[in-house]
Amino acid sequence: MSDNPLLKVSGVSKFYGSRIGCKDVNFELWPGEVLAIVGESGSGKTTLLNCISTRLLPTAGSVEYRMRDGNFRDLYHMSEAERRFLMRTDWGFVHQNPADGLRMTVSAGANVGERLMAVGDRHYGKIRETATDWLGRVEISADRIDDQPRSFSGGMRQRLQIARNLVTGPRLVFMDEPTGGLDVSVQARLLDLVRGLVNDLGLAAIVVTHDLAVARLLSHRMMVMKDGHVIEHGLTDRVLDDPREPYTQLLVSSILQV
């Protein structure tokens, strides 16, 4: 167990005018830990994810990230260029809709290679080799490397987006409903893949989902949100097996059994 968190979130709030996006959220995330943020649509999950990942400026609070040199930096006191560099190299962001995270009109190989070039790789042969390797890891066959993601199925696009994000060896990955909109069989494949990669690479991840089964499979820890507030927070097994808050009990009792 490492003794330092990777991310410290303190008092993060976001207001849209007088409406609450999320209010006074506090937590720490350690390396190798997967945190699920669950709640129904409009509960503030995505707002919170965007505030933490600097895609949205919070109204109040601070988010500190432990850089590779071991020092904590407040993300909102960094320059825009530094933040962008962090996003491109040390972080990944997997969008619900792959079209938001991919460049749809360049080849699959270039989608993966682009992130490598951002961290300074210039050797074409090496980039292509790494890209091919990553396509294999996300189960996309090598002969599709020159095809554009436009010609891919939804599940394949999502796997490509994951490859694009992980190729630079990030330490923290944000995922917004990574399995939303996919067939269950495709979902299962993606979940298994993400689970394996997170374990193998020792990533920390924050996964927003409204699917409690996804949260159970992927996460160690879970935060339940309602109306912008975190109403329950704990070990994933504990929150799902022994929910304490009325709203969490309602959520858990609403899961369909197969």
Partner 1 sequence: MATPLVVSEVFKSFTMHLRDGIKLPVVNDVNFSVAAGECVVLGGPSGIGKSSILKMLYGNYAVDAGQILVDHKDRIVDIASADPRTIIDVRRHTMGYVSQFLRTVPRVAAIDVVAEPLVVRGVEAAIAKENAAELLSRLNLPRELWSLPPSTFSGGEQQRVNIARGFITSHRVLLLDEPTASLDATNRRVVVDMIAAKKEEGVAMLGIFHDEEVREAVADRILDVSAFSPRKAIAA
Applying CB under 8 A, which residues contact partner 1? 1, 30, 33, 188-189, 191-192, 195, 199, 216-217, 220-221, 234-238, 241-242, 244-246, 249-250, 253
Nearer CB in complex with partner 1: 92/243: 243
Nearest distance, CB of residue 87 and partner 1, angstroms: 26
Nearer CB in complex with partner 1: 93/247: 247
Nearer CB in complex with partner 1: 110/182: 182
Nearest distance, CB of residue 219 and partner 1, angstroms: 10
Nearest distance, CB of residue 220 and partner 1, angstroms: 5
Nearest distance, CB of residue 34 and partner 1, angstroms: 10
Closest listed residue to residue 158, CA positions, set 193, 196, 203: 193
Other Cβ atoms closer than 10 A to 110: 18
Nearer CB in complex with partner 1: 30/85: 30
Q: Are strands 60-66 and 221-226 parallel, antiparallel or unpaired?
A: unpaired
**How far, in Å, CA of 183 to CA of 28, rounded?**
33
Q: Which residues of 161-189 are buried (b: 16+ CB within 10 A; e: fewer)?
A: bbbbbbbbebbbbbbbbbbbebeeebbeb
